[in-house]
Structure 1
Amino acid sequence: MATTAPSDFQATPASGGSPLLGDAEFQFLRDFVYQHCGISLSEQKRQLVQGRLLRRLRALGLRDFSGYCDVLRRDPDGELGDLASAISTNVTSFFREMHHYDLLVDELLPRWLEAKKNGGRLRIWSAGCSSGEEPYALAMVLAEALERTGSKVDARILATDLSPQALEQARAGTYALERMGGVSEARRNRWFLRGEGSYEGLACVHPRLRELVTIQPLNLLHEWPMRGPFDAIFCRNVVIYFDKPTKQRLFDRYAGLLEQGGYLFLGHSESMYGLSDSFELVGRTVYRKCVP
């Protein structure tokens, strides 16, 4: 899930009788969020987390944060997605960090399609797909490469996220036109259906893109049902708020699912420096799995 730190959003002050987040409840939430989401919440985040979670208290009909902690104790998995959505902000766009897509179009996709033309599979994972802009942008360049080469390769994109709200929008595949600034006019015409009437100002992704993308809920810190191997993994703007041990474990797990020589794409402010010996830097926040 692509996130920003809790310090990046405005909290709603607790006033007018709103419940306060006490020491014991905040410590429980800090431990819970770190264990299940890999995000470390400092003491300075207390008021901000309190403001965001007040919405969950109202949604669940709870009177105080002690009751919310009890909900997490009774059913951690059931509430985890909404908790993660509450304390983080999904930030994404179509064709964000365009140099990654340029590498795919100019080098990687032609190479992979040629190598797999006699029956191989091509798999890309968007880990932290947020509301779907990233996997659908990947689907556009993949579909174009398949059309351009006439390839019949079995090619698919897996898109996962922890946030139920983000996944709901990704599955809907409908976006406001003002959110499509990164999509060229030619691609808008080719890969989107423009809304009319009550859907004016909206665009829906083409059915062909939906065919290429599988959207599933997944917590990166828990067990992974897929076995791979993947040719590329996009995990951009996800690990920036993880601590060093969590990043190391995640990168090791990614290495285990990538093809030899497979690629891992990180966000513009993320780095693998000093965190893994399984990858080599080959471009701007582009890493290749080392071949023994």
Structure 2
Amino acid sequence: MPPSAHQAAVRPENTDDDHLSLRDFKRISDLIGAEVGIKLPPTKRLMVEGRLRKRVRALGLHSLDDYGDYLFHRDGLAVERPFLINAVTTNKTDFFREPEHFDLLEERLVPDLLALRRGERKPLLKIWSAASSTGAEAYTLAMVLADLAAERQDFKFAILGTDISTSVLEQGIRAVYPTELIAPVPPGKQQRYLMHARKPGQRPEVRIVPELRRLVRLARLNLMDTSYPFDRDVDVIFLRNVLIYFDKVDQEKVILRLVDHLRPGGYLILGHSESMIGTAVTMRQVAPAVFQKT
């Protein structure tokens, strides 16, 4: 049974002496590496401890040492596993992050994809944000494609966003964001696709309009799974700034699985800090970090 909040009558204000044991950190590191592919070297120990202190408080425990004991000696891991993954995984995201990829999508990739399907009437383009975090990337894609579809009038689109973390997916489904996060969104798109609260609270927030939310599906996916339960005729997959947390072997496996879901001529877009060099995947590079399935 998980501990209750009333058990933690006193918690130390100073966390200088509150640390995971080396053994417990290694156990957590091994578990995260095996389950979600993210590597947590000893240099990440302080970061992990900082994030797990919220779980210590939520469970009513006194210390990180108690947390380790709860996980590994009191059978707490079965219940705590999703919360541990949510806490430890990195969820850095922004609207219009690395904006040149969205410019390329609008100006080149979509026209080229539609040219390959010119025999179809209003083809459906499928776009997958494979590490969508809170949904900022998925909704950025929706904004870009909604404007382009309204202009061209010759295609439809659907967007899938997936992530390992249930907590960030819940935020993406709500589609509510602090106002400061949407600063990179161009003013015209802010007017068309964002709603402001009539009575803003202490922290002003916006919400994605329902017309756009209906075009985005968010679902949980562990990229380390051996197969993915999604369509195999996807046009564009965004997998940006995720592979850097995986080792080379897992990077290659993930890329191979994702490429298997692309239609011929489809595109895989990685982060600018990432590369497919050294993998067994044969794709044509068309732009920095952008690869086409041949």
Counterpart pick for 1:164 among 142, 152, 166: 166
**1:141 shift after superposition:** 1.4
Question: Given that residues 233 and 263 in structure 1 are in contact (C-alpha distance below 8 angstroms), is that contact kept between their aligned partners in structure 2?
Answer: yes
Corresponding residue of 1:258: 262
Q: Distance in 2 between matches of 1:113 and 1:282?
A: 17
1:145 CA drift (Å) = 1.9
- Residue 211 of structure 1 deviates from its aligned partner by 1.5
What displacement does 1:38 show? Answer: 0.8
In the other structure, the counterpart of 1:6 is: none
- TM-score by length of structure 2 reads 0.84
In structure 2, distance between residues paired with 1:238 and 1:72: 31
Deviation at 1:83, TM superposition (A): 1.9
The residue aligned with 2:149 is 146
SS in 1 for 2:251: helix
Once the two structures are superposed, what CA deviation does each residue of 1:171-208 show, in whole Å capped at 9, x if it has no partner? 11122222112111111111111222135832211112
Query: Does residue 207 of the first structure (1) align with residue 210 of the second (2)?
Result: yes
Query: Which among 124, 127, 131 is matched to residue 124 of structure 1?
Result: 127
Using a 3 Å threshold, how does the CA distance of structure 1 residues 90 and 64 change in structure 2: closer, same or farther?
A: closer
C-alpha deviation, 1:96, in angstroms: 1.0
Identity, % of aligned positions: 36
Q: 1-side partners of 2:220 and 2:190: how far apart?
A: 27
Paired letter, 2:185: V
**Change in 2 beyond 3 A, CA 1:40/1:126:** same
AA matched with 1:204: R
**CA offsets 1:238-258 (integer angstroms, 9 cap, x no match):** 111110000010111111111
C-alpha distance in 1, partners of 2:263/2:187? 35
Provide the rounded CA distance (Å) in 1 between the counterparts of 2:169 and 2:39.
Answer: 24
- Secondary structure of the structure 2 residue equivalent to 1:198: coil
AA aligned opposite 1:238: V
Task: Judge conservation of contact 2:255–2:281 (CA < 8 Å) in 1.
Answer: no
| Map 1:173-184 → 2, pairs under 5 A | 173-184=175-186
Whether the 8 Å contact between 2:89 and 2:165 is mirrored in structure 1 is no
Does the 8 Å contact 1:252/1:278 carry over to 2? no
- The Cα offsets for residues 230-279 of structure 1, whole Å up to 9 and x where unpaired, read as 11100111111110000010111111111112111111211111123322
- 1:85 deviates by 2.9
Native 8 Å contact 1:81 1:162 kept in 2: no
Q: 1:179 to 1:46 in 2, by over 3 A?
A: closer
Q: Which amino acid aligns with 1:268?
A: H
The CA deviation at 1:15 is 4.3
Q: Say which is worse superposed, 273-282 or 31-40, in terms of deviation.
A: 273-282
For 1:206 and 1:167, locate their aligned partners in 2 and report how far apart those are by CA, in whole Å: 17
- For 2:142 and 2:199, locate their aligned partners in 1 and report how far apart those are by CA, in whole Å: 28
Structure 1 residue aligned with 2:198, among 187, 196, 199? 196
| Structure 2: runs of 5+ lacking an equivalent | 1-12
Match for 1:102: what amino acid? D
**Match for residue 5 of structure 2?**
none
CA distance in 2, matches of 1:73, 1:219: 22
| CA-CA distance at 1:47 after TM superposition | 3.5
What SS does the aligned partner of 2:214 have?
A: helix
Q: 1:24 to 1:269 in 2, by over 3 A?
A: same
Selected match of 2:221 from 218, 224, 240:
218
Partner residue in 2 for 1:8? none
Whole-Å separation in 2 of the counterparts to 1:96 and 1:221: 24
Instruction: Name the SS of the counterpart of 1:197 in structure 2.
Output: coil
Q: Which runs of 5+ in 1 are unaligned?
A: 1-11
Q: What is residue 54 of structure 1 aligned with on the other side?
A: 53
3-state SS of the aligned residue for 1:157?
strand
Provide closer, same or farther for how the CA distance between residues 28 and 73 of structure 1 changes in structure 2, counting only shifts above 3 A: farther
2:68 paired residue number: 65
Q: Give the whole-Å Cα distance in 2 for the aligned partners of 1:188 and 1:205.
A: 9
- The AA in structure 2 aligned to 1:163 is S
The alignment yields a C-alpha RMSD, in angstroms, of: 2.3
Separation in 1 of the partners of 2:155 and 2:240? 29
Q: Secondary structure of the equivalent of 1:49? A: helix
The residue type paired with residue 246 of structure 2 is F
Amino acid at match of 1:94: F
Return structure 1 stretches of 4+ with deviation > 6 angstroms: none
Contact 1:192 1:206 in 2 (8 A): yes
CA deviation after TM superposition for structure 1 residue 119, in Å: 6.2
For 1:121, give the aligned amino acid. Answer: L
